[in-house]
């Protein structure tokens, strides 16, 4: 129905705005160009209102305005977040620079003191480091022995499990399960 009205209104507009009908004369006459244009314009506005075009355009503009507002809010929040991150990094950079200066000053003091003590303490320091290294080596050896022992136990258990599984019959398996269930009952009570 809307297509038919659009076609009829288009035909009426094309007939009303025909150059053959446009002429000067009394205003309320189809021979007057201004009157024909006014009628065509009013019909055009009526068709637009009937098809609810202003509402659609308003809705589209409202949606676009909401999207733009949302994007602006998001941009604002991103800007604020970026400023906060920048301030945080600047603060961290100042802290790191101060810390680096402290480290350098402390290192200079320690280097001077170490240079003075180095002549006297060099032999003692080497002896302590050798003892520490030997202790670490002994600890690493014990850890390696323990790891090898644990691995050997794991392999032995797996091998025993495979041997038992291969040599055990269904009857033996059932008896073992029954024994385990009865032992479990005694241990729970």
pLDDT, residue 98, reads 92
Predicted structure pTM score: 0.33
- Domain residue limits at 139: 73-188
Residue 4 has pLDDT above 50, yes or no: no
On whether the CB atoms of residues 28 and 55 are closer than 8 A, the answer is no
**Same domain (yes/no): 55, 87:** no
**Same domain (yes/no): 31, 82:** no
**What's the mean pLDDT in 157-186?**
77
| Burial environment of residue 36 by CB neighbours within 10 A (0 to 12, 13 to 18, 19 or more) | buried
Q: What is the DSSP string of 131-153?
A: HHHHHHHHHHHHHHHHHHHHHHH
Residue 147 has pLDDT above 80, yes or no: yes
76 — pLDDT class (breaks 50, 70, 90): very high
**Same domain (yes/no): 58, 145:** no
12 — pLDDT class (breaks 50, 70, 90): low
Above pLDDT 70, what percent of the chain? 86
Structurally, the chain folds into a number of domains equal to: 2
pLDDT, residue 5, reads 57
pLDDT, residue 25, reads 61
**Same domain (yes/no): 44, 94:** no
Residues 6+ apart with CB under 8 A from 34: 27
**Same domain (yes/no): 119, 32:** no
**What's the mean pLDDT in 78-97?**
93
């Amino acid at each position: 129905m809307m297509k038919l009205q659009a076609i009829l209104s288009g035909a009426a507009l094309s007939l009303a705005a025909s150059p053959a009908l446009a002429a000067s004369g009394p205003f309320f006459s189809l021979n007057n160009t201004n009157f024909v244009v006014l009628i065509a314009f009013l019909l055009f506005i009526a068709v637009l209102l009937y098809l609810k075009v202003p509402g659609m355009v308003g809705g589209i503009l409202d949606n676009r305005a909401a999207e733009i507002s949302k994007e602006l809010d998001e941009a604002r929040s991103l800007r604020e977040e970026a400023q906060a991150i920048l301030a945080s990094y600047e603060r961290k950079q100042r802290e790191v620079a101060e810390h680096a200066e402290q480290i350098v000053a402390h290192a200079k003091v320690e280097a001077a003191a170490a240079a003075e003590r180095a002549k006297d303490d060099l032999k003692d320091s080497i002896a302590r480091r050798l003892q520490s290294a030997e202790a670490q080596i002994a600890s690493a050896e014990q850890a390696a022995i323990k790891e090898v022992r644990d691995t050997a136990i794991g392999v032995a258990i797996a091998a025993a499990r495979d041997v038992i599984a291969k040599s055990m019959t269904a009857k033996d398996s059932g008896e073992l399960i029954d024994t385990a269930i009865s032992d479990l009952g005694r241990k729970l009570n």
